[in-house]
């Protein structure tokens, strides 16, 4: 590493520390958190990453159409009666329980007509140009704040120019949450102090990204945000008559924003499920509610790719065609005769990914693990997964930094996430917010299959459009 590069690493690491681009420190061997309040610079790319401008613009263009499809599809009987049925049977302890909760909400009646979607659609470039969707995140879409700062860091250290797009993810996300709380206050003007509840995991290592949002909401909108785990929510007072979630100290949950609840590990007992159920049956505006959450399942992604399905939910055939252009090959398992799909994957396992109904990184199965899983799973168990074409991403040179050192210098691939905000009312055309607000770019060594910064696989970067 040259002296100039050493100086740049020092500047970049110091910039991250100065401006709060931080994550909870982990032991490098065990990957376990060192302590609740011990932080280090988030892993980052020393230089911005070259990214085709046409593909970047295409990904942004799909933001609003996806906002609409998620809202339209999540309130359709198709979601629970067709799209997710197989996965709920193959994954009864998680997806199945979410479906049970959704049906319970419908049976008892929705207590809130407005829902907030903080969506992030993730793409990789297939064969050097076409952005194909990796997944659509409808719950706990993270790193909006830190990715906004990484964009600023790269501009400051490398010289701002028009090829480095502005990233307003943090501002857009805070705006959406603040508008949701304002809507709640309009609905319930006599309610005591309405606040935003951020549902968090115990021992969260990505707390700075969350705290940034908390401080931004307070500074810009005067919004109070409190942090609660699902277990803590189960212990709050639920006023059955008013269907209010009383947090104590005069605070009522006006908006509940999930940064947890997307993995079975967040539901260690019935207590956590009780907390989730209380929220779903309360008057709070949810981000997301259980229907939006389910819509982000891999099985729904695969079902949407079916012939004529997108056309049911998109605003036009043109928007349906635009979204469909982002779909990689998606194949059903555990329904109908899936043997030909299994045989296809076993013949060429390096060309496919086996995906469960999970978020957060580190869950997918590749290569030998894919083969072993398909050979050992029962027909019903396979229904908890989908098979997806492996995106053949183009690579470029990258310099990846962790703890003040370049830990990797070589070929990298990147993944672009586009944040969309949707604040809408069920059963009406009322739209309070429908915007594409920013992006996240993650880069990783080209031989690393998994993604996710918090999971330890990827590094924060920003795009340099070419």
Q: Are residues 314 and 337 in the same domain?
A: no
* Residue 161 within any structural domain of the chain: yes
Peptide bond before residue 288 is cis, with ω within 30 degrees of 0: yes
73 and 171 assigned to the same domain: yes
Tell me whether residue 402 is in a domain: yes
pLDDT of residue 1: 60
State whether 351 and 209 are in the same domain.
no
Quick check: is 291 in a domain?
yes
Pair (325, 240) in one structural domain? yes
- For the chain, what is the HEC assignment? CCHHHHHHHHHHHHHHHHHCCEEECECCCCCCECCCCCEEECCEECCCEEECHHHHHHHHHCHHHHHHHHHHHHCCHHHHHHHCHHHHHHCCCCHHHHHHHHHHHHHHCCCCCEEEEEEEEEEEEECCCEEEEEEEECCCCCCHHHHHHHHHHHHHHHCCCCCCCCCCHHHHHHHHHHHHHHHHHHHCCCCCCEEEEEECCCCCCCHHHHHHHHHHHHHHHCCCEEEECHHHHHCCEEECCCCEEEEECCEEEEEEEECCCCCHHHCCCHHHHHHHHHHHCCCCEEECCHHHHHHCCHHHHHHHCCCCCHHHHCCCHHHHHHHHCCCCCEEECCCCCCHHHHHHHHHCHHHEEEEECCCCCCCCECHHHHHHHHHHCCHHHHCCEEEEECCCECCEEEEEEECCEEEEEEEEEEEEEEEEEEEEECCCCCEEEEEEEEEEEEEEECCCCCCCCCCCCCEEECEEEC
Decide if 253 contacts 197 (C-beta within 8 A).
yes
Question: Do residue 289 and residue 408 come from a single domain?
Answer: yes
417 contacts 442 by C-beta, under 8 angstroms: yes
Q: How high is the pLDDT of residue 3?
A: 62
**Whether residues 245 and 384 fall in one domain:** no
Verify that 264 and 366 share a domain, yes or no: no
Residue 449 lies in a domain: yes
The model carries a pTM of 0.96
| Number of structural domains found in the chain | 2
**122 beta partners:** 135, 417
Tens of pLDDT, residue by residue, the chain (466 residues): 666 899 999 999 999 999 999 999 988 788 788 888 999 999 999 999 999 999 999 999 999 999 999 999 999 999 999 999 999 999 999 999 999 999 999 999 999 999 999 999 999 999 877 899 999 999 999 999 999 999 999 999 998 788 999 999 999 999 999 999 999 999 999 877 999 999 999 989 899 999 999 999 999 999 999 999 999 999 999 998 999 999 999 999 999 999 999 999 999 999 999 999 999 999 999 999 999 999 999 999 999 999 999 999 999 999 999 999 999 999 999 999 999 999 999 999 999 999 999 877 778 999 999 999 999 999 999 999 999 999 999 899 999 999 999 999 999 999 999 999 999 999 898 999 999 999 999 999 998 877 778 777 899 999 999 9
Residue 191 domain-assigned (yes or no) = yes
User: Within this chain, do residues 336 and 187 fall inside the same structural domain, yes or no?
Assistant: no
355 and 451 in a single domain? The answer is no
Q: Catalogue the active-site residues.
A: 120, 135, 137, 142, 298, 355, 359-360, 442
- Please enumerate in sequence order all residues whose Cβ is within 8 A of that of 432, keeping only pairs 6 or more positions apart, or say none: 114, 179, 180, 183, 423, 424, 425
Per-residue buried b or exposed e for 398-428, using 16+ beta carbons within 10 Å of the residue's own CB: bbbbbebebebeeebbbbbbbbbbbbbeeee
Residue found by looking up tokens 């909870």 in the block? 24
393 falls within a domain: no
The CA distance from 428 to 424, in Å, is 8
434 assigned to some structural domain: yes
259 and 153, same structural domain?
Answer: yes
CB atoms within 10 A of CB 196: 28
Specify if 306 maps to a domain.
yes
CATH of residue 378's domain is 3.30.1490.50
Do 220 and 115 belong together in one domain? yes
Boundaries of domain holding 335: 330-388
Residues in the chain: 466
Same domain as 116, residue 165: yes
pLDDT digits (tens, 9 = 90+) for 449-465: 777 787 778 999 999 99
How does pLDDT run across 217-274, given as a tens digit for each residue? 999 999 999 999 999 999 999 998 999 999 999 999 999 999 999 999 999 999 999 9
């Amino acid at each position: 590493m040259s002296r100039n590069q050493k100086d740049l690493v020092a500047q970049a690491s110091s910039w991250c520390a100065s401006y709060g681009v931080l994550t909870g420190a982990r032991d490098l061997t065990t990957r376990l958190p060192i302590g609740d309040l011990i932080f280090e610079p988030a892993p980052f790319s020393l230089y911005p990453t070259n990214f085709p401008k046409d593909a970047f613009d295409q990904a942004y263009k799909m933001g609003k159409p996806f906002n609409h499809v998620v809202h339209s599809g999540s309130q359709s009987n198709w979601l629970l009666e067709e799209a997710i049925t197989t996965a709920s049977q193959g994954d009864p302890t998680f997806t199945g329980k979410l479906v049970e909760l959704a049906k319970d909400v419908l049976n008892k009646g929705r207590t809130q007509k407005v829902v907030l979607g903080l969506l992030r659609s993730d793409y990789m470039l297939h064969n050097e140009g076409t952005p194909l969707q990796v997944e659509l995140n409808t719950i706990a879409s993270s790193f909006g704040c830190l990715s906004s700062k990484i964009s600023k860091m790269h501009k400051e250290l490398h010289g701002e120019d028009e090829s480095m797009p502005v990233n307003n993810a943090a501002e857009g996300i805070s705006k959406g949450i603040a508008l949701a709380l304002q809507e709640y206050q309009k609905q319930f003007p006599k309610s005591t102090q309405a606040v935003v509840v951020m549902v968090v995991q115990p021992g969260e290592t990505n707390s700075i990204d969350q705290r940034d949002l908390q401080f931004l909401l307070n500074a810009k909108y005067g919004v109070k945000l409190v942090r609660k785990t699902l277990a803590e929510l189960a212990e709050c007072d639920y006023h059955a008559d008013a269907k209010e979630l009383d947090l104590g100290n005069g605070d009522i949950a006006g908006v509940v924003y999930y940064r947890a609840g997307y993995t079975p590990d967040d539901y260690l007992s019935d207590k956590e499920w009780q907390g989730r159920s209380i929220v779903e049956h309360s008057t709070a505006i949810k981000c997301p509610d259980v229907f939006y959450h389910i819509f982000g399942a891999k099985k729904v992604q695969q079902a949407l790719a079916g012939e004529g399905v997108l056309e049911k939910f998109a605003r036009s055939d043109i928007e349906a065609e635009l979204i469909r252009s982002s779909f990689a090959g998606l194949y059903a398992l555990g329904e109908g005769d899936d043997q030909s799909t299994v045989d296809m994957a076993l013949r060429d396992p390096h060309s496919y990914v086996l995906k469960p109904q999970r978020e957060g990184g580190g869950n997918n199965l590749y290569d030998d693990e894919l083969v072993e899983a398909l050979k050992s799973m029962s027909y019903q168990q396979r229904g908890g997964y989908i098979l997806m074409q492996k995106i053949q991403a183009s690579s470029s040179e990258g310099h990846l930094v962790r703890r003040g050192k370049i830990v990797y210098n070589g070929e990298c691939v990147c993944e672009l996430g586009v944040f969309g905000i949707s604040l809408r009312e069920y059963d009406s055309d009322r739209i309070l917010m429908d915007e594409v607000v920013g992006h996240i770019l993650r880069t990783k060594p080209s031989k690393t299959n998994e993604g996710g910064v918090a999971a330890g696989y990827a590094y924060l970067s920003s795009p340099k459009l070419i």
